[in-house]
Structure 1
């Protein structure tokens, strides 16, 4: 995507809608994504998890436990508990996240209510486990992707991420496991263990949606031919290169270190380019979870 197209796309995202001066195209897209995420989440919960007699983590997990124990509607209890927990979220989360969450919580409960009868029962409970985890992870991942939360333990997970620098997905898994342990009061151990596996699947899917939809690799190159490699990377790979000044401790020689961030599918091509032009080059490849700025597609 060239600079003109990127500029037009950014202008399109910021375009105001006729129905509201504060509503932009990007905001509308985010609300649609949240709606889709809530729908997928609800199918995962009702169709597969409850359909298979499994539990869940977080507030919806507590709602499912109360459904098994007392017959309360998961949609209603999920809504009420989350609305209480939003008070905590307003204190610790950004204004943008909480505004989206105020839309997400009712939408989640609405979708859970609409899909309450969409039950899928099978003798192969592993199907419920796998697809339940997949859809829940996909739904929550989409919701997180646009900066919202599903309240409940997701608020606690974001607080942990903000103040303790803990990965959101794994913080959420920790809190969810606490809820699942409570599920032992109404479920047998086998279904609890299957729920744990479903949660792990959901965590990995969520992690991919949040951080891995556009995977990047950061490459550090120490070469005797830095100018040649920098030019080839710029021309052939079409990526910007940063040249850092370095010094070898043992040799005390000054060196130029190349640093470049590329798409994952360009890594093999970059390795070949380096090998063909400097077989003695020292190359370090790093995983990159997120890239900000307009310097990389």
Structure 2
């Protein structure tokens, strides 16, 4: 009898342990893109920028706005998730590959330019936007009209961005480069005259310049220093997810949602966008 009771107790313990594991299993990591049998997962974790007006911004009241947010929300819908099932996670430039590789996000839509170095660690879907590298300067500064004018001037960009390296290695090697954790910090430095220019994609710069509290303070120089094809970053080798995201992006363009998102997020800054690019990743 004692042996029977002990065995029964052990069996109950195993059942409880398994039940607890099942309940708490996958909440820490990014969800799969849909579940077998048609059932939906609890949530999907998506990496975006939190400090890029017009692109990816977390507002003081906790809402998320911007073109990348609209793209990510559309893609998530096509993967079977409602907006309420999306958890947005901050993806600073220097940490994007790590977030994907560690499984902290399912995918990243964060002004993430496709290049060969990044493709060594992650795969991309898309591209879904073609931007161009430009310069943002103070509105009263007429001394910078081309990239070469940055020689011996102070330039700001963010750690992990390809824009600053493009300037330093190809266009203005004598520029004094300051790298910050976010573009908002660079903007503060530009306003206080601690730096002379901020460089990144024109879509991002236009978003900052269009903010209500920045109107009249800054201007875009209007240069096309590089072509930046924004892609959606995902775990290397996940061809199934890549195919699904590419299909969602094509549908977003076809049904007009892509154009509507461009106008909503960039229109107020008089941003001249390129047409939706052709999908090339995974093809």
> TM-score, with normalisation over the residues of structure 2?
0.25
> TM-score, with normalisation over the residues of structure 1?
0.24
Higher relative contact order structure (alpha carbons within 8 Å, sequence separation ≥ 6):
2
**Greater share of strand residues, 1 or 2?**
2
**Greater share of helix residues, 1 or 2?**
1
